[in-house]
Structure 1
Amino acid sequence: MMVPFGLILAILAAGIFLSFAVFSMDPAPASDPTVENAFTLFTGVFLAGTLGSIAFYPAILGLMITEFFSWRSLWIYLGFGLALSLFATHAPGEPVDSLAIALDMRALAAGLVGGFVYWLIAGRGAGIVQRTKDNRPKSL
């Protein structure tokens, strides 16, 4: 039950983080910070929906693997968040310039945020079957 909830909140957190990171690139001060923050938050929810739909199936595949093998390490989820964010935001034929590199770095940071949020909610208790003394596999 925690897996879908964790995935939804991780995608939402990554989208909101990416929105604030992208809009912080403009050094011009805003006329009304409250309106700018509300717009950025709304854009973050929109980004979460858009990028979440792109990364949904690879995320489900990765989460099925981590649940099956009961992997609970934070590093696995952070690495998976990095890979998913690069998959969802980087175009293969994208020109390499300073703006593209800056956006890719912000997207990678958003992937770290998403991986961390998922690990906090559902990743720490990953595993379909919790191993105890009674249900450990027999060694040969």
Structure 2
Amino acid sequence: MSFSRIIARLMMVPIGLFCAILATGIFLAFALLTMDPHQASDPEIQSIFTLFWGVVIAAMLGPLSATPTLAFLLVAELLSWRSLYIYLGFGLALSLFAFHLPQEAQDQVATALDMRAMASGLVGGFVYWLIAGRGAGVVKRNAANKPKSF
């Protein structure tokens, strides 16, 4: 294992996590702000408004999801999980548990919000996998000790 590989992983994981949280926030803001079809008619103002609220939502999501996400990423790095499906599944599960309240009445609005939240979790999982998840693992793998892929 080389020192440069460890340094590269130490840089890529926070960058990937930051981009994933930002993408999740922007996607969720876009999904929530497009629920009402009678919004502002100017698309430029609506785009700027969506990006602003995306950054605000990302700033709120980051601290809420930090502990489970960092624990998962530590396990993923140690076990060299590189499958896209693992990161998509974690993003989906994390967003479902973060946004769905067990006592919440299930009406059409709550179901629509849960679906948008789960889709944003998939976006976050994909962005993290794209940036840092494909090269997960600090141990160099060869054919003899390569983990089985799904």
| Equivalent residue number for residue 92 of structure 1 | 102
Alignment of 1:95-134 (within 5 A): 95-132=105-142
Which residues of structure 1 form unaligned runs of 5+?
none
Alignment of 1:8-23 (within 5 A): 8-23=18-33
Matched, 1:62 2:72: yes
Matched, 1:41 2:51: yes
Q: Which segment drifts farther, 26-35 or 100-109?
A: 26-35
TM-score, length of structure 2 as denominator length? 0.85
Which residues of structure 2 form unaligned runs of 5+?
1-10, 146-150
CA apart distance, 1:86: 1.1
Matches of 1:53 and 1:7 in 2, distance apart? 12
Aligned-pair Cα RMSD in Å:
1.6
Deviating above 2 A after TM superposition, structure 1's stretches of 4 or more consecutive aligned residues are none
TM-score, length of structure 1 as denominator length? 0.91
| Equivalent residue number for residue 75 of structure 1 | 85
Deviation by residue 1:30-78 (Cα, 9 ceiling, x = unmatched)? 2322112111110011111112211111000110111010010000000
Letter in 2 for 1:25: M
Q: How many residues align?
A: 136
Q: Which segment drifts farther, 11-20 or 31-40?
A: 31-40
